[in-house]
Amino acid sequence: MTHDPNRLPETNWGAWQSRPFHRQYLMTQASRLFDYFEASSLNPKGGFFELSDDGQPLSPENSVRQVHVTTRMIHCATIGSLVGRPGSDEIVDHGMRYLWEKHRDQRHGGYVWSLDDDGYVDDSKQAYGHAFVLLAGASAKLVGHPLADQVIADATEVIEKRFWDKKVGAVREEFGNDWRQISTYRGQNSNMHLTEALMAAYEATGEVEYLKKATKVADLIINRNAAKLDYRVAEHFHEDWSLDKDYLGSEMFRPAGTTPGHALEWSRLLFQLFVLCRKEHSWMTESARGLFRQAIELGWDKVHGGFFYTLDWNNQPIMREKLWWPVAEAIGAAAYIGAYDKDDYYQVWYRKLWDFAENHVIDHERGGWHSELTEQLVPTSRLFVGKPDLYHALQACLIPLYPVTGSLTHGIIEADHPKRL
């Protein structure tokens, strides 16, 4: 009788997530990540430092603060507050004040991409950044930050007025500081993170318009595109939202080809959206499963392990580096889908992914997760210098611990917070 590698043995069946040792392991890893990033991230001049491999500020004298770094730290500190980690609320406040007072362009509106102690470094207005501004505001509202409602309202207005394209149900990508058009590029990455932010805003406010927008974005990017491309997520589009297979952009934010990590990220977000939409759209779960399985089949290195960063349209690796965030996103997706789909496949891969993270990605010596490995799994820094952020790895540790009834923050509140009598 041949062994099916995607089936669990009867003597080791059942989800790791229900086992006390594994749950303790996950919380320990989350606590270590908090320790690592909280120790040196706070910039006394406002905002947050990006950290080197050994956990020290990369540019301590005059650090550039990028808006997605500021906002992700706010989101993660909110998670810290919700799980009961002391000190988290002060980090939320530190980030929110810098976001509102510095990143926000008080002259032209919107939020600039980056600045240092002397002023703006990149004063463009990016849809990607504004998605995370909305996420930060929605997260901060859950812990009662006084600026949260202002940030939500302001980000919502800017997204609606400047970025949202009603004809297609998605956002335009980027503008100059004074809102002049600087390109006709359209991309899925910013829209994916906007979907995440819109769901968070819906959970925080109860306003159904956020959920309607999230559904429209998912329908465009996944149902009308990825599903027809054998569940490969198209990254780049022309102004009319026709596919641009020849696009060559930033290797970090807009790499050529397809990115298996984004298929994995979408697979969790789609299941989350399905739940929030009261399980009305079956295409969402069908696509979530298709995206997850296709990313594993095409993106996982069957020799060394890990996900190739990018593939061409013939499904061959372009960039063979293995980054930390696709593994983190795959863990969250396997946990989320596996909570609804009892096929052993998702639990088998959940375990394989944690095995890989434990043995290759987690930096047991210095803390944090290695941001980048070579094809042969040696730590390197061709694409990413240092350890960029807490966001992906922290959620990988905590999503498996909480009910999959919405976002992670929603699950924490449902599980840990008694309703006020």
Tokens (6 digits) for 242: 């026709």
Between 419 and 124, residue with greater pLDDT:
124
The model's confidence at residue 9, banded by pLDDT at 50, 70 and 90, is: very high
Number of domain units in the chain: 1
Cα distances (Å, whole numbers) of residue 136 to 85, 100, 132, 148, 317: 18, 11, 6, 8, 34
Task: Write down the pLDDT at residue 386.
Answer: 96
The model's confidence at residue 420, banded by pLDDT at 50, 70 and 90, is: confident
Task: Write down the pLDDT at residue 358.
Answer: 98
Query: Of 130, 145, 262, 360, which is the active-site residue?
Result: 262
The model's confidence at residue 348, banded by pLDDT at 50, 70 and 90, is: very high
Given a cut of 90, whether residue 110 has pLDDT beyond it is yes
Tokens (6 digits) for 360: 């290759």
* Residue 400 belongs to a domain: yes
* Residue 6 belongs to a domain: no
* Residue 7 belongs to a domain: no
* Residue 378 belongs to a domain: yes
The model's confidence at residue 263, banded by pLDDT at 50, 70 and 90, is: very high
Given a cut of 70, whether residue 96 has pLDDT beyond it is yes
Task: Write down the pLDDT at residue 174.
Answer: 98
pLDDT digits (tens, 9 = 90+) for 157-175: 999 999 999 999 999 999 9
HEC per residue, 327-354: HHHHHHHHHHHHHHCCCHHHHHHHHHHH
Tokens (6 digits) for 45: 């001049």
* Residue 5 belongs to a domain: no
* Residue 421 belongs to a domain: no
* 164 DSSP assignment: E
Given a cut of 90, whether residue 412 has pLDDT beyond it is yes
- Catalytic residue check, 262: yes
* Residue 341 belongs to a domain: yes
Over range 279-297, report the average pLDDT. Answer: 97
The model's confidence at residue 1, banded by pLDDT at 50, 70 and 90, is: low
Return the CATH number at 145.
Answer: 1.50.10.10
DSSP lists the bridge partners of residue 115 as 65, 120
Percent of the chain at pLDDT above 90? 95
- Catalytic residue check, 238: no
Over range 186-198, report the average pLDDT. Answer: 98
* 220 DSSP assignment: I
Distance from the Cα of residue 123 to its chain's centroid: 23
Which positions ≥6 away from 253 have C-beta within 8 Å?
Answer: 128, 189
Supply angle C-alpha 161, 126, 221, rounded to 5: 80
Over range 229-250, report the average pLDDT. Answer: 96
* Residue 77 belongs to a domain: yes
CA–CA distance, 80 with 87 (Å, rounded to integer)? 8
What range does the domain containing 90 cover?
A: 13-416
Distance from the Cα of residue 354 to its chain's centroid: 18
